[in-house]
Structure 1
Amino acid sequence: MRADRLVATLLLLQQRRQVTAAEVARELEVSERTARRDLDALATAGVPVYSVQGRGGGWRLVGGARTDLSGLTSGEARALFLVAGPAADATPAVRAALRKLVRALPEPFREQAEAAAASVVTDPQPWGSDGTRRPPPPFLDVLQESVVRGVQVRLGYVDGSGATSTRTVHPWGLVAKGPTWYLVGGTGAGRRTFRVDRVSSVDPTDDPVDRPEDFDLAASWREIADEVHRRRTPLEARALCVPHGLPILRRGFGGRLEVGGPTPDGRVEVVVRGRDASVLAGELAGLVEWVEVTGPPEVREHLAATGRAIVERYR
């Protein structure tokens, strides 16, 4: 549970003044790579953690050791919860851990810490093959601050066609989709999603955000992502899959796979989405051992043509 690990790492730093990634790994029973990644996450989010290179080096807190969470400043508490809270699939145990952390904070910091924990969702699977690491976009920090403070912003934006606009946005939350950041917010036209790397300016106002009472960032993002997937992959192939083939389909198609109910012969109904018939048939052709495509006809025709070409080439 990352929330537990992050605060445990912070407390180790407060108690020992300096730790190495290897020491954190031993204490928390994780890999050294995971420990280093958590230390980097704390530093990147603004918690005053820095590394000392060379012999006798390690990780330290700016200003020396502290004994408990009550020593955090308001900004440090918010930064901690920005990295402890993000999770599209946070488990009940993680949510319970965050509630405990909130209770450990000084009273004036609790509201912003809770807001920070709910302000970001991490969806690690990038769109398609876009997994290239990129630096955070320029206006990410000020947008995070606006989400946590709950204030409207005047947003300058350049859309995908290059058209520029300025509008008032109620920032409800931020999503990291692979390497790409998105702002989810309310506008005069309803809920909208903005790529943060297309934001050209941000001017926070003192006007409070109007947020639906039942708004849930993780649930809202799932709706948005599902709609994007449907637009990017409009063709649906229906198929029957043997049960032991489902893990293979899940690995290969991820969110493009929908699993239905069982059939009388023991197989499982599935739907796989794709861009067009020929590409989708190419993806399915190697799965003939587990999958029988039942429609649409154009996908079956491409599969049959692929089969004939394979027999001709390798007979």
Structure 2
Amino acid sequence: MRADRLVATLLLMQARGRVTAAELAEELEISVATARRDLEALSTAGIPVYPQPGRNGGWSLLGGARTDLSGLSATEAQALFLLVGPAASIAPDAKAALRKLVRALPETFRTEAEAAAEAVVIDPAGWGEHGKQRPSRVNELQTAVVKRRKVRLTYAGRRREQSERVVDPLGLVDKDDVWYLIAGTEKGQRTFRVDRIVAAEVTELPAERPDDFDLATEWARVVDEMEQNRSGLAATVLVRERHLWVMQDRLGRHCEVLGPGDEGWVRILVTAPTPLMIAQHLAGWGGLIEVLDPPSVQAELARLGGELVQRYGH
């Protein structure tokens, strides 16, 4: 039984009080036999769903029982559909599930929920590009995460040396079109770039998953750790106040405002692993900035400037 049908069925029963298999089939665009099997499966799973025979019978939740979703306020319903709606613009399955969920909402929520679902469209393609497809490897790994099966990976490291290992897949993250797999290994939790996975075989072995694992929390930790590794050196820089927002937009968390400088200037801290990398970030700013320290970054800027003068000075 599909999860979207399960949720939609429960919401319909809560909104209407009682439904027949035929009504459910019409709403969810499935056969009556499938609707009846779904209702029976819910009952078998321990949810208090019971049939009531007779002329006005049907299926209902015992005692008006309600799931967590039933307590949605109008604001919560809007928030839910604002999150789900964009996915429906690029995923046919999500669009179908969304349509069923809208139908299952209480009547008073439907208009605003539909408006929220249609408020945002995601277009993953840049100008002049065709729509980007999610890497096929991601689908395979996602199945392993959902079914909790160990995966045998052949992985290429930074130097392209290959190694094989069996991992417990815990979750997938899409960061700016680069996919990462977080997985448990013999040496602890690790993060793998999906585009470096040479081969992946989903096994029948059950994967282990820590009871307290939360993908969003773990990814935040990974990001913090990676950013700290990328911030090994700091340079104090003066930038024109009117250009500060551009610097912040380009460098993100690697640009920290220290305070005002002389009139029209702002003191900032720029971080990167090496003096050269900081200099590369700043070289294009020319006289719009001034590096106060360290001397190593100043020296790299001077060297880059000298190379440019030597090549283009004539």
TM-score between both structures, scaled by the size of structure 2: 0.50
Bigger radius of gyration = 2
Q: Larger RCO: Structure 1 or Structure 2 (Cα < 8 Å, ≥ 6 residues apart)? A: 1
